[in-house]
Structure 1
Amino acid sequence: MHTFISAHNLNTFLNTLIAAGTRVVAPRLNAGTVLYEPLQNAAELVLDQLPRRSGKEAFFPLCEDIMSYRKEGQQVTLQTVDPALFPETVLFGVRPCDAAAVPVLDAVFSWDYQDEFFLERRRKTTVIGLACTSADDACFCTAVGLSPAATAGSDLFLTPMSGGGYRCAACTEKGEALLQQHRGLFSPSSDHEPLPLAEPQVERIDLARVKAWLDTHFEDPAWDGIATRCVGCGLCAFVCPACHCFDIVDEGTEKAGKRRKNWDACGFWKFTHHASGHNPRDQQPKRYRNRIMHKFKYYDDKFGQTLCTGCGRCIRLCPVGIDIAAIVDEISTK
């Protein structure tokens, strides 16, 4: 059932959560850049721009401690991080392309190994999605089967209304519970119509044809042309809402330090560099091929869906202008 919340009541809702000790992560301005970050108050909220990085950092941090160690004489002390101490979180203002990546990551981190750090943060996070009413020429969510109003991954979903305020729909039991806790701020309905939705640049790509080509063209010479510009900076993976590669590294000295989980990227030369010195992806085209294969074949083989939500960040921010949507679209016509 749809309900309505005014812009004023929405600010009250967020401020009430913050005052109660809930970590509210939402788009805010930081040194000229909009990022998903914890709010101090609702006045910091910025909803007219897609954040530069995705919302996955709320439950999959760029760097996180797993344990620390200290050696004094012959005594070694280990201290582990207790996931039970992770805070209750509301991830607010999440665009459909970011929210749709949440169940994609859920599958990865609960597949053959239960990642308690990721899963505990997810259990404690309520995702409030927001429909898109604007798009640029890098947006291509519709090309991968989503839409500016897709509710996948959201617990609550907001749609901007023409007269101000938002229509709100509960998508999960978690979302319904949060709505009921603050039901005094919501009204049954609004007399206004929803604002027109955004129109992404690329309407649709035949993903079945893309996968069929990838299934049989691992060694195709076309890869040299596709990846000739890639410099292996890893930016595309770091801004992507669905990329999830990480490394575990011990940082410190023999006396003290930490074991940390840090983001990694298959575009990096060292990602597949063996201790023997051999690197099966010793050239950049091979590494970029893996990126395309992972998103449009390997993940599909394992989980039955595409590892791309069409957010367009990798297109906007690539320093050499690589357009993954154009590449995949071209593959679909081969």
Structure 2
Amino acid sequence: MHKYISENNLKALLDHLIADGKRVIAPRMDAGTPLYGPLADSAGIVLDQLPRRSAKETFFPVCEDIMSYDKEGQQVTLRDVSPASFPETILVGVRPCDAAAIPVLDAVFSWDYKDEFFLERRRKTTIVGLACTQADDACFCTAVGLSPADPKGSDLFLTPAEGGGYACETFTDKGEALVNNHGELFAEPNGAQALPLAEPQTEKFDLKKVKAWLDDHFEDPAWDSIAVRCVGCGACAFLCPACHCFDIVDEGTETAGKRRKSWDACGFWKFTHHASGHNPRDLQPKRYRNRIMHKFKYYDDKFGQTLCTGCGRCIRFCPVGIDIAAIVSEIGKK
């Protein structure tokens, strides 16, 4: 289904959804930083900047309770957190690099074990994607086979049009339902041309050559020079829309507490630290090697796709200036 929606009607749509009790999450300013977060009304939406953190936390929160317990005398009461309580959500203004990562996460969270916390949020969320009309030096979505107008992962996709407003295209039943339920706000396509899309400058990777080199160079001395600057801060993993490592810990006292799931990162020293004291990734080059291997080899081995969507956040915010796109590009030329 192809439609058109004006900027005013898009804001009216968001206000209607909020008034109907839906949780609307979109880019907004938070202490001067663009972040995805729930809107109180449409006036708070910011669509001209890529949020610093990705949209994955809509489905995979930084930290969440999965169980609680209380102990009184010898009686212990366990309480599971029910995913059925999660609200219906509309996720709006999602850039292609973020939207494309969500099906990547689907494969992980429904693989050998079905994570109902993630999957229930997915079932209850409609994703409204937004094409990019600008890019910076860190953007490299085209290098990994995506594009600034790739609708992958979106239920409804918006493309900014000349003269204002957005061309709309639906890709799923959720997208169709959103349009049909608010049909008065959408119009037939008006023939307006799309605004010029962003043009990331990174040369397209030969992902087959990259993987072939990784297949045969686990012990290559090049890893020492590739990772010499990494300080293991984990910023890259926490900002990435596709990284998904987590830990589960019990927090509390003798009488009450919670079991919680929290983000983790393979770049942390303790991530592979055994109770015996042994650590198979005891040095930072080994940990950074795992990051590259996971994104461009291990995930591909298991699921047949790359665990990177080229959003560039890890490049923009790395405190020591590591450029994963430059590293992968160099690997592809070996």
Distance in structure 2 (CA, Å) of the matches to 1:245 and 1:119: 16
Q: How does 1:282-301 map to 2 (within 5 A)?
A: 282-301=282-301
Indicate the residue corresponding to 1:151 in structure 2. Answer: 151
For normalisation by structure 1, the TM-score amounts to 0.99
Counterpart-to-counterpart distance in 1, 2:242 and 2:179? 27
Amino acid of the structure 1 residue aligned with 2:235: L
Quote the Cα distance in structure 1 between the aligned partners of 2:251 and 2:285.
31
- Partner in structure 2 of residue 261 of structure 1: 261
The residue type paired with residue 321 of structure 1 is G
Q: Stretches of 4+ moved more than 6 A in 1? A: none
Superposition pairs of residues 136-285 of structure 1, within 5 angstroms: 136-285=136-285
The match for 1:62 is 62
Q: Which moved more, 1:184-193 or 1:118-127?
A: 184-193
Q: What is the CA–CA distance in structure 1 between the aligned matches of 2:254 and 2:233, rounded to whole Å?
A: 31
CA distance in 2, matches of 1:304, 1:315: 25
Residues 43-87 of structure 1: CA deviation (Å, up to 9, x unaligned):
000000000000011110000000111111111111110100100
**3-state DSSP class of the match of 2:114?**
coil
1: CA distance, partners of 2:128 / 2:69? 38
Distance 2:114 2:66 in 1: 15
Whichever residue aligns with residue 119 of structure 1, its letter is L
- What's the Cα RMSD here? 0.6
Report the more deviating stretch, 202-211 or 278-287.
Answer: 202-211
Aligned AA for 2:263?
W
Percent identity over the alignment is 77
Q: Give the whole-Å Cα distance in 2 for the aligned partners of 1:227 and 1:203.
A: 22
SS in 1 for 2:251: strand
Point out the more displaced range, 196-205 or 223-232: 196-205
Question: Map of 1:29-68 to 2, 5 A cutoff?
Answer: 29-68=29-68
Distance in 2, Cα, partners of 1:221 & 1:239 = 28
Q: In structure 1, what is the Cα distance between the partners aligned to 2:15 and 2:82?
A: 28
**Are 1:16 and 2:19 an aligned pair?**
no
* Partner amino acid, structure 2, of 1:142: T
Q: Aligned partners of 1:90, 1:262: CA distance in 2, in Å? A: 24
Distance 1:195 1:12 in 2: 22
Q: How many residues align?
A: 334
CA distance in 1, matches of 2:252, 2:269: 24
Structure-1 residue corresponding to 2:73: 73
User: Partner residue of 1:88?
Assistant: 88
For 1:174 and 1:2, the matched residues in 2 are separated by 14
Counterpart CA distance in 2 for 1:17 and 1:203 is 41
Q: Residues of 1 paired with 2:131 and 2:169: CA distance?
A: 11
AA matched with 1:5: I
Matches within 5 A, 1:302-317: 302-317=302-317
For residue 127 of structure 1, give the secondary structure of its aligned residue in structure 2: strand
Whole-angstrom CA distance in 2 between matches of 1:275 and 1:179? 54
The amino acid that maps onto 1:179 is: V
Using the alignment, how far apart are the partners of 1:119 and 1:249 within structure 2?
21
CA displacement at 1:203 relative to structure 2: 3.3
Residue type at the aligned position of 1:109: F
Aligned mates of 1:166, 1:42 — CA distance in 2? 16
Query: Can you list the C-alpha shifts for 1:122-156, whole angstroms capped at 9, x where unaligned?
Result: 00011100000000000000000000000000000
Query: Which consecutive residues of structure 2, in runs of 5 or more, have no partner in the other structure?
Result: none
Aligned to 1:5: 5
Match of 1:331 in 2: 331
Q: Deviations over 1:266-286 (max 9, x none)?
A: 000000000000000000000
2:121 and 2:151 map into 1 onto residues whose CA distance is 20
- The Cα offsets for residues 69-119 of structure 1, whole Å up to 9 and x where unpaired, read as 111111111111010010000110000000000100000000110001000
